[in-house]
Structure 1
Amino acid sequence: MTTEWSLDELYKGFDDPAYGKDVAELTAQIDALATLLADAGRMQEKERTEKVLAAQSGIAQLFYQLSLYVELRQSVNTEDGTVMAENAKLMKLQAKMAPLEAAAGKLLAGIRDVDALAKESGLVREHTFYLKEKQKEAKHLLSDEVEEMAASMNMSGGAAWSKLQSYLTSTVKVDYQGKQITLSEVRNLAYSPEASVRKSAYEAEIAAYEKVEDAIAFSLNYIKNQVTMLSEKRGYASPLAMTLEQSRMKRETLDAMMAAIDEYLPVFRKYLRKKGGMLGHVNGLPWYDLFAPLGKADKTYSIEEAKQYLIDTFTKLTPEMADLMREAFENEWIDFYPRKGKEGGAFCAGAMWLKQSRILTNYDGYFGSVDTLAHELGHAFHNRQIENHAPLNQDYPMPVAETASTFNEVHLGKAARAEASGEELLNLLENDIKEQTQCIVDIYSRYLFETAVFEQSQNKFLMADDLKQIMLDAQKKTYGDGLDPECMHPYMWVCKGHYYSEGLSFYNFPYAFGNLFALGLYSQFEKEGEAFIGKYKAMLSATPCCTIEEAGAMMGIDLTKKDFWRTGLSEIAEEIEQFCTM
């Protein structure tokens, strides 16, 4: 089985005639949209709406195909100059598109009655939700000239700073035991069963960040300043308000979830102190032992073993999921191992026009890596539910983006623990609580950190020492006395790429949302069995064309009420109690 993904079904290279043809076609379609918009005033409402929708669909599809290929190539080799050059070309086209998209958005926002027009046009009917969202977004659009300038300046502004962070963290050399390894490799050692390895790896990781901290601090400051400036110019109350509107999520939902989490923080701290005591610590758990395995932790999985384990486990959920997993392993959708120049972490990217996805991981063979594969394949399952949607109806908001992936993790964890006992059960139970702690407590700390950075960066330039202190303050507020105050992680802002998107802020609370939403959904699955799967798939399919609260309502859930969020948190609390008394 190959361990690197194949991108040949996208393009066989930048010299592939199909790639050049699509770049030329995208350029031509952008020019055609400009001509269409210039003539739109002479058309009837139905005609111009249909033509603009068709033009937008074609451009969206081509740009996504091309940019996906470039991004996938770059993610496994951030030092490839050819990829960087192609990315620059696409960014120029994107800048050219920006004012046209803004003008098209304003035109579509001017439709007098979307529902009435939908009765006359099947294309409009298919895009009713999209058109109504455009009407909301139009309130925040700037003039065509300013939109074009903002997009052009972003190329050497926020987008460039974002790529700098990615480049530095993927290429920084970590000095470890007489050799140089990547950041991904040293971070993977946090899961080692050897205490000395975990501690020395943590120390080497911290030392490595010192080499790049200043440049990345500049990146974070300028990205957040750009986001704040644009959100203010667009009339949003704050970057968070902009993110919530982009997420189609009410502030009441976020507040209800965070309030419930705050109630349960003492429970998570109890777990951390218990784990610290089991590992011989008396002042809380030091950061380098946060991911320390407990119980029988020596089992590893080859890629073939991971494949079979996942297929067998998810056949019990639905054969459709198991078949998708088999397809991903056998058809070279996955890039498994860390290597020089490859990004850290993991992600799944959909190639819906091919009815495929591509998955990047940094696989180390432990159960956590198998769990990561299940998570990313959950994203692929979500992609499968929307692959027949029109190109303009394929974007689902951040919070529900983590639902299918986390649902898979819940299923895998429960299945594994149901078959285990003794030391193996202890290991699996603690692994699950450990991941839940990351999705709840650490995510809460990241949310607090990003909130503070947005606020403080408006009054001062935040140097690396400032950012480290803000991160430590956020960790103290969330982890509390669960962590050893003398051994925390002041550099978590350096290695988390989510902070560095100029177009997507607060990509942290969606993980907590997805985790707790998935726990609630899985509870339904346990009660309803096979009947649940059809509703679940229908909800996932609907996510690009509904609000977060509407998605919850499809499953009979009111997400604005704290009681729902307590449901998932109480289940985690039961696991923690079981762990503490084992």
Structure 2
Amino acid sequence: MRDTWSLDVLYTGFDDKRWSEDLKKLDDCVEKFLSFAAKLSDENEKETIKEGLKLLEELEGLSAQMMIFCELRGAADTRDKDSMSYEGVLSQKRNRTRAAETKFAEYVAARKNLEQDIKEDAFLTSYAYLLRNMAEDNRHLLSGDVEEALAKMDISGGAAWSSLQGYLTSSVEADLGGKKLTLSEVRNLAYSPSREERKAAYEAELACYDKIKDSVAYALNSIKMQDISECELRGFASPLAKTLYYARMKEETLNALLEAMTEYMPQFWRYLRLKAEKLGYADGLPWYELFAPLGKSTKRYTTEEARDCLITVFSSFSPDMAEMMKRAFAEDWIDFYPRNGKVGGAFCEALNSKKEFRVLTNFSGSFSDLVTLAHELGHGYHDFMVHDNEPLNMEYSMPVAETASTFNENVITGYAIDHTGDEEEKLALIESQLSDTAQIMCDIYSRFLFESEVVERRRESFLFADELNEIMLDAQKKAYGNGLDENCLHPYMWVCKSHYYSADLGFYNYPYAFGGLFARGLYAKYKKEGSAFVENYKKMLKNTPVMSVEDVAKICGIDLTDKEFWMMSLHSYDAEIDEFEQLIKNA
């Protein structure tokens, strides 16, 4: 088992013969689709639609595989110039078909017999959801030439600004006691057992952001303005409305979620104040103490120990998940440790063409890192569930994207809590879970408030770094209430979160709250129903690319527009917060 991932299943490098062959093949795919779109005919509509879908399967599959290779290389080393160059080359090749794809979508939308054709043809039936969405989405498409122009402009617009943010945050160095650290390394020290080190790391982190704040502020302003402008062109009321539309999620669901969160949030403020009091703070928790460990769980994991623990725990949930995890470790699907030039945080990327995935983490050996691995491997399991779908039926929407991952968090942490008889260790484990959930509740809500305010104000004015800091602090005060010391917050949280930096994917915050609390509700059902739950869970994951958020939840008997479901999910934390209070009193 290596410390870094292997991408050889895709290509061994840009000098790989397969890469040059696929570049040529991609050109051929582009030309075939352009030729097809130029000859669209009303004579045999059913066969024309089938041909278009089959051409898109080939085009999407190949271009995605090649772009993912570039993105993964770039994430592992943001200084990889070849990856950046080829991303631009691939974008230009792919953008040549934008006008043709728009023309095909218009063709599908104009078919009066579309529903009948779907009913009569098995291939079209398999793509029924895609075709219906294609017809509906056509209302928000512009002319083919304009779509192509926008895609080309994005290469040096939103995509370039996003790359700048990633480059700056991955390459900037923090100075901690004369030692140079990457941003990921210094942020990991928030989990240090030393209060002095946690505080010093927090101060070094803030100083680090001060070096790059102005450049990142320009990136954020430019990306949000691009998103706002495109929404106006496409007929969306706002970037949030666009996000909900493409998430295939009702506004009623989001409102039910947010209402439940704000109603229950004081319970998490209570948890934060209890932690603050335990650590000796009278006015709430300082920001740098958010992840301060409590209890005596000093266990550190090697990557081998993390592997063995995860396989043991998830074998009891579903043997196929355990087998998947074995492969991920054995076949070098994971890039574990932080290093200079490597992006921060963690993610999972599906390699749909190979029925595999790759995981990036910044592993330091803590229990939190073990949970992160479980989280990302949950994404991988979700990908495995859709691998047998049709090639164009593998992409699922933002909200459900965080469901399987956060479900895994509940499983691993619940298992650890249930299998310890030591009160100090139990305190550490419960505190870890409550800390992670406070991120879903308070931090994610603060991000939602921040982005909402930024989008609203960006319509009229440019927001400099100091203004962005003020907006972030206001959002944190509302979201964390009296749980944090308002004199020690984190004004620069907008700099390091890559989720803000996509012109195509605004408001990538509430999906984490949705995924976390949806998963918590699913976990409650699992604990109640046992193995009978697992098959419905798998069925639900498999159908996420071909159903709306609300419909896919119904597979597990859940109404997402009902606030009571979300309250049920949240109230499952009551006992843990109560036990946390008792444990810190006994400690």
Answer whether TM exceeds 0.5 for this pair.
Answer: yes
1:467-546 matches, within 5 Å, as: 467-546=468-547
1 CA distance for matches of 2:296 and 2:335?
28
Q: Deviations over 1:430-479 (max 9, x none)?
A: 00000000011110110111111100111110000000000000000110
Match of 2:462 in 1: 461
> Would you say 1:70 and 2:60 are equivalent positions?
no
SS at match of 2:572: helix
Partner in structure 2 of residue 137 of structure 1: 137
AA at the equivalent of 2:78? T
Give me the whole-angstrom Cα distance separating, in 2, the residues matched to 1:222 and 1:393: 32
CA distance in 2 between counterparts of 1:63 and 1:498 reads 23
2:96 aligns with 96
- State the shift of 1:141 in Å: 0.4
Aligned residue number for residue 426 of structure 2: 425
Q: Is the 8 A contact 1:94 1:151 kept in 2?
A: no
In the alignment, the residues of structure 1 paired with residue 259 and residue 444 of structure 2 have an alpha-carbon distance, to the nearest angstrom, of 14
Runs of 4+ in 1 over 4 A off after TM superposition: none
CA contact (8 A) 2:2 2:332 kept: yes
Rounded to whole Å, the distance in 2 between the matches of 1:507 and 1:472 is 19
Matched residue SS, 2:392: helix
1:303-322 equivalences under 5 Å are: 303-322=303-322
Q: Which residue of 2 aligns with 1:125?
A: 125
User: What do the CA deviations read for 1:287-311 (whole angstroms, capped 9, x no partner)?
Assistant: 0000000001321001111000111
Find the residue that maps to 1:142 and give its secondary structure: coil
Displacement of 1:24 in angstroms is 1.2
Match of 2:551?
550
Whole-angstrom CA distance in 2 between matches of 1:94 and 1:278: 56
Distance in structure 2 (CA, Å) of the matches to 1:111 and 1:324: 42
Which letter does structure 2 place at the counterpart of 1:214? D
Q: Who is 1:250 aligned against?
A: 250
Offset from partner CA, 1:25-46 (integer Å, 9 cap, x none): 1111111111111111264111
The separation in 2 between residues aligned to 1:3 and 1:566, in whole angstroms, is: 41
In the TM superposition, 1:167-316 aligns within 5 A as 167-316=167-316
Question: What percentage of aligned pairs have identical amino acids?
Answer: 47
Cα pair 1:11 1:18 within 8 Å, conserved: yes
Task: Find the counterpart in structure 2 of residue 580 from structure 1.
Answer: 581
What's the secondary structure of 1:5's corresponding residue? Answer: coil
Q: Is the contact between residue 193 and residue 297 of structure 1 (CA under 8 Å) also seen in structure 2?
A: no
Q: Which residue of 2 aligns with 1:363?
A: 363
Q: Which amino acid aligns with 2:380?
A: A
Query: Residues of 2 paired with 1:173 and 1:107: CA distance?
Result: 52
SS in 1 for 2:329: helix
> 2:163 matched to which residue of 1?
163
Q: How does 1:291-440 map to 2 (within 5 A)?
A: 291-420=291-420, 421-440=422-441
CA contact (8 A) 1:535 1:555 kept: yes
The question of whether the paired residues in 1 share the 8 Å contact of 2:10 and 2:65 is answered with yes
Distance in 2 separating the partners of 1:274 and 1:528: 33
Counterpart for residue 444 of structure 2: 443
Structure 2 gaps of 5+ residues are none
> CA separation in 2, counterparts of 1:235 and 1:267?
40
Instruction: Indicate if the aligned counterparts of 1:436 and 1:572 stay in contact, CA closer than 8 A.
Output: no
Report the secondary structure of 2:5's partner residue: coil
How far, CA to CA, are the matches of 2:35 and 2:49 in structure 1?
Answer: 14
Aligned residues: 582
- TM-score of the superposition, structure 2-length normalised? 0.98
CA distance in 1, matches of 2:41, 2:93: 25
Native 8 Å contact 2:33 2:97 kept in 1:
no
Secondary structure of the 1:40 match is: coil
Q: Report the secondary structure of 1:567's partner residue.
A: helix
1:111 to partner: Cα distance: 2.1
Letter in 2 for 1:114: L
Question: Residue 230 of structure 1 aligns to which amino acid in structure 2?
Answer: E
Deviations 1:471-506 (A, max 9, x none): 000000110111111100000000000000111111
Deviation, 1:72, is: 0.3
* Distance in 2 of aligned mates of 1:59 and 1:383: 20
| Alignment partners' CA distance in 1, 2:525 and 2:261 | 21
**Secondary structure in 1 matching 2:180:** strand
Distance 2:275 2:415 in 1: 23
**Aligned-pair CA distance for 1:530:** 1.2
Range with greater deviation from structure 2 (436-445 or 88-97): 88-97
- Aligned-pair RMSD on alpha carbons? 0.9
1:358 is paired with a residue of what secondary structure? strand
After TM superposition, the score normalised by the length of structure 1 is 0.99
Q: Cα offset for 1:120?
A: 3.2
Contact kept? 1:158, 1:222, Cα under 8 Å: yes
- Cα distance in 1 for residues equivalent to 2:582 and 2:114: 59
- Tell me how far apart the structure 2 counterparts of residues 532 and 573 of structure 1 sit (CA, whole Å): 23
Task: Give the AA of the match of 1:215.
Answer: S
User: 1: CA distance between counterparts of 2:10 and 2:537?
Assistant: 30
Q: CA deviation at 1:96?
A: 1.4
Deviation digits for residues 85-114 of structure 1, max 9, x if unmatched?
111101111321222221221112222233
Are 2:56 and 1:31 equivalent residues in the alignment? no
- Listed one character per residue, the Cα deviations across residues 215-258 of structure 1 (whole Å, up to 9, x for unaligned) are 00000000000001001110011110100010000000000000
- Give the unaligned 5+ runs of structure 1: none
CA contact (8 A) 2:268 2:438 kept: yes
Q: Residue 110 of structure 2 aligns with which residue?
A: 110
User: What code does the residue aligned with 2:473 have?
Assistant: L
Instruction: Deviation per CA, 1:310-359: give whole Å up to 9, x if none.
Output: 11111111111111111101110000000010000000011122121100
Residues 114, 128 of structure 1: 8 Å contact kept = no
The answer to whether the Cα contact below 8 Å between 1:385 and 1:537 also exists between their aligned partners in 2 is: yes
